[in-house]
Structure 1
């Protein structure tokens, strides 16, 4: 076998899929996983274990990619010039038959089988279920995320691929096309603990060392009304006959429904409350209520004083007398 080669890039595999070949009397072989998907130029580890009857001694172990015999035996990949410098047997002659294949190419997409031979005349076994290796030059990424979450919830976003990524892969996450500097990822998941409204945005993911970035997925963080207040325009002295606008300011998601109250009586709805040709009867305390699916909240009351022209004239005369005196 060739000397160990440095591991580069990462392996893509489908976890949890195992194939096994079992025979009578203790013969058996198991591959885990049975399907592997790898990026071009990455390193692949094909894991397997094997068993054989007591009294047998292992004489030879090797991997092959065909079940067709040549000169009475399956061809050994370690003797194939296309594999010999890239293939390293990591197993033993007891139960472990794991092998590593470095710098995989698109041509390496194939079915691979392990074979072992004992010292007995009938002591030959091949795991015919094999390992399916698929090598690709690129891969698709997609972010899975709930469409709507509530502020304070814990949220997990998952970066999924056409090939499931192993723990060796390093993920890069983006929000609104900007990389997230805080490392909150676990394997291929981005964890948002106690999500905030500032976490809303377009999320995408990539794998370190590769240029491909997933399409954006929108994360919508909903929250109850906050910072509810009322502004009055004009803000100065209000005279009978003027037009006055009250604006209810409220931060919420989804947008809140607004109701207006004068004292304890509802007088209108909508974010803007207009009073045209205002009269002294409109004087009083006003407040708005902001409500969405999460909660309701009232603003502080504001006082609206409407003055008639006679009151203004009287006030001016008194002030003028005071100044003359």
Structure 2
């Protein structure tokens, strides 16, 4: 009787079961093969036991718990029923456990409660493997295909580049559900490492990394010179270094003025550099994988020889006033500039001077005595300099001849006449009195003057090199104590005045012919008149002078 009542109740419950009536969570529930799943109801544990709990899988009975518990044979040992809530634990899942599960619960004194949900039993992810069509690639030329495989069910595929997710773009293609990654015309940033991550609702796995070797470059080539300076002195050491962005490392070749050198490698060391190595240096980087090359901009290497042995040479060693002469300034080495100085100051070109051939030649078209002095020439380049000096002595004269001394002395007194002239070398002097040569020296001295010493004194200055002469005339009168003059003195003065008058003040070389005055003639009135006329003429001459 009791069993019949229970069956009747169960039939009523099942027939009135409302699917998804909140007793079980919305599905599906996911679980892995061999795992355990808990079907947990939403009911709160009650002090009153349920009259019955029935779990079914499709049309199969899993367990019926009422007055008599009944478990389906394939679930023996695999299930646990929690009577306080009606929840069910199912263990050691198999793929055929996938499907719809339902529960019907009859509380004591309450309406029947029930519901259903879906279970998906999945094979876990395993053996995730990624492969590449090639790992040795050339930037912009090569394409690559990455494939991912895995065991498991309901698989999803995700590619990672390092830690970033790979997404499709114009160069990146994802096919076959994402398991195939194709990159067209790879760049250096596509080297990876790439990993494939496979997942399903119950597990996931990641492949070992794949790193692509992508050759690129050369590019961004750079040439440096050490020490870095505009000019290098001959005999010094310099190093040229070349670098470029390249994978694999670039091979380097060197060029001088466009000609290939035998040197290779990223450094070109030039020891004891010579003038012949001056020019435009460049380097070329070559990538043996990409078969590309790039050449640097040329860098100038300027090698200078030190300035040494500066000298100044004249076109003649006999510098005579009025001639033309050149001073040439030169030196061994790389000459950049020449600077002339005179007597320690910058040279100011006079009207008779010119500079030629980049200041190499200082030319005098007509030497002057004022051109004498010390000339120096400083030759330089940016790394060194040297200086040469030359002392120029201009031979000239004589000129500006003059006589100093008394014009009148008393009989018996001493006197000195001094002759001077501007001349290089110093002039030699000859004294002539009233046309007769009397002395050879710059000074003429007489200790005891006689009346016969009166007259016209001529000083003739001569330069032995220029062979020029120049003269000056000086009148001297010797008087007795009474102040009278002898006839000879008068005659000398007259002759002197006549010479001065005829010369007109000129200083050219000339000779005075001596005249004798007969002082022994007896006194005569005619002679006395002539003597008075001489005095008068002499006075007039002096006044005119």
Shorter-chain TM-score: what band?
A: 0.5 to 0.7
- Given that residues 62 and 76 in structure 1 are in contact (C-alpha distance below 8 angstroms), is that contact kept between their aligned partners in structure 2? no
- Structure 2 distance, partners of 1:80, 1:170, is 34
Distance 1:227 1:148, change over 3 A: same
The Cα shift of 1:271 comes to: 0.9
Does the CA contact (< 8 Å) of 2:307 and 2:379 recur in 1?
no
Say if 1:139 and 1:161, in contact at 8 Å, map to a contact too. Answer: yes
Q: Which position in structure 1 is the counterpart of 2:22?
A: none
Q: CA deviation at 1:82?
A: 5.8
Q: 1:75 matched to which residue of 2?
A: 263
Tell me if 1:144 matches 2:313: yes
The match for 1:171 is 338
Larger radius of gyration: 2
Structure 2 distance, partners of 1:135, 1:209, is 8
Match of 2:466 among 294, 299, 302: 294
Q: Which of 251, 267, 274 is the matching residue for 2:438?
A: 267
TM-score, with structure 1 as normaliser:
0.55
| Partner of residue 203 from structure 1, selected from 346, 354, 375 | 375
* Structure 2 gap ranges (5+): 1-220, 224-228, 237-252, 280-301, 485-545
Structure-to-structure mapping, 1:113-262, within 5 angstroms: 135-145=304-314, 146-163=316-333, 165=335, 169-182=336-349, 184-186=354-356, 187=358, 188-207=360-379, 212-232=385-405, 235=406, 237-262=408-433
Q: Displacement of 1:158 after TM fit? A: 1.0
Quote the offset at 1:76 in angstroms.
6.9
With structure 2 as the length reference, what TM-score do the two structures score? 0.34
Paired with 1:142 and 1:254, the residues of 2 have a C-alpha distance of 26
The correspondence for 2:449, drawn from 249, 269, 278, is: 278
Give the aligned partner of residue 310 of structure 1. Answer: 482
CA deviations on 1:51-106 (whole Å, 9 max, x unpaired) are xxxxxxxxx99439xxxx9xxx71279x75568xxxxxxxxxxxxxxxxxxxxxx8
SS at match of 1:152: coil
Structure 1 220/62 Cα, relative in aligned 2: closer, same or farther at 3 Å? same
Judge conservation of contact 2:407–2:476 (CA < 8 Å) in 1: no
Contact 2:453 2:478 in 1 (8 A): yes
Q: Tell me if structure 2 keeps the 8 A contact 1:261–1:288.
A: yes
Q: 1:110 to 1:229 in 2, by over 3 A?
A: closer
Map 1:22-33 → 2, pairs under 5 A: none
Q: CA distance change for structure 1 residues 76 and 227 in 2, over 3 Å: closer, same or farther? A: farther
RMSD: 4.0
Encode CA deviations 1:198-230: one digit per residue, 9 max, x unaligned.
111111101367784524222121123111121
Corresponding residue pairs, total: 213
Deviation at 1:147, TM superposition (A): 2.9
Q: Which has the higher contact order (CA 8 A, sep 6+)?
A: 1
Post-superposition offset of 1:241: 1.8
Cα distance in 1, alignment partners of residues 365 and 447 from structure 2: 49
Structure 2 partner of 1:108: 273
